[in-house]
Amino acid sequence: MTSRQPRDKSNLRVAVVAGGVALGMVGVAYAAVPLYQIFCQVTGFGGTTQRADASPEQILDQKITVAFDANVNSSLSWDFTPVQHSQTIRIGEQVLAFYKASNSGSKAVTGTATFNVTPVGAGAYFSKIECFCFSEQTLQAGETVDMPVSYFVDPDIVNDPDMKSVTTITLSYTFYAVEKEPVKTSSASRPRTNSTVN
């Protein structure tokens, strides 16, 4: 009897430690996504662009070309294209570009855009001030809208040795459908129909 007690305590200790590790891993998994998003936004990792309140005061004479790419997920009945294929801009200059979206479906649809730039290292220097991608977009059936993006390329890009040979940055968007919860109506709020008996 006395020989079992140490073994039972040891097993209990192992179970408690294993349970603690499992709970810790669940917590890390939940924290990983927002932490990864913050990491990408701060570093430009994976071509993630930056967000800024205003353009820099310094505008260089050096120029760079920004190309525009547009994609639509198959779940969304939209046509989505850049209005301009590219812009050659001065580094540090705030510029306005447009995309055009059309809902070719038979009902209103809400979409949201993911985005990145290539080469991926340029993400740390590509900043948006205003963008349609900052919020969900709803288009009525048959509606066509222009979607603006105000951006600049940070002058610090010229000090990055890895960016010395970069002459073109491609800004790419992909629109996806947003799944909305169906609106539930109570029996009190449902429209009443009158029926007559002949």
Indicate the domain borders of the chain.
50-177
The total number of residues shown for the chain amounts to: 198
Query: What is the identity of the amino acid at 71?
Result: N
Token pair 């909305």 is found at 180
User: pLDDT tens digits for 33-76?
Assistant: 333 334 344 433 445 779 999 989 999 999 999 999 999 999 89
pLDDT above 70 for 3: no
pTM above 0.85, yes or no: no
Domain 50-177 has CATH 2.60.370.10: yes
Torsion of CA 49, 52, 58, 62, to 10 degrees: 20
Q: What is the pLDDT of residues 75-111, one digit of tens each?
A: 899 999 999 999 999 999 999 999 999 999 999 999 9
